[in-house]
Amino acid sequence: AQSVTQLGSHVSVSEGALVLLRCNYSSSVPPYLFWYVQYPNQGLQLLLKYTTGATLVKGINGFEAEFKKSETSFHLTKPSAHMSDAAEYFCAVTGKLIFGQGTTLQVKP
């Protein structure tokens, strides 16, 4: 079975600061990993994904994530937060997309 754990249900950063959203997974097979963003009252949008190959994955809006098999992690980062990044972020694993609990990112001016 596959599962995802997102550490921190709520993360608050200042505008311009580093964003780090944590995701750990459990999978009995090589995982496919995804990060999605959900803005208020909207559907989900794919930020980035890891399937095979390069472990550092770059996505939209300046986000990137690194797959670390030894740590079973897929943390999402962005060097400099923008006010427009405030949203709910979900990590997901495998083909059926098992989602983590979500992390609300707040960006303070």
- What whole-number distance in Å separates Cα of residue 15 and Cα of residue 66? 23
Note the residues at the interface with another protein (CB under 8 A). 32, 34, 36, 42-46, 49, 51, 90, 94-102
100 within 8 A of 91, measured Cβ to Cβ: yes
3-state secondary structure of 83: helix
Complex with another protein: residue 95 or 109, whichever CB lies closer: 95
The residue assigned the tokens 């990993």 is 33
CB of 43 to another protein, least distance (A): 4
* Min CB(34)–another protein separation in Å: 8
Q: What stretch of H or E contains 19?
A: strand 19-26
For another protein, the closer CB: 9 or 80: 9
Q: How far is the CB of 46 from another protein (least distance, A)?
A: 5
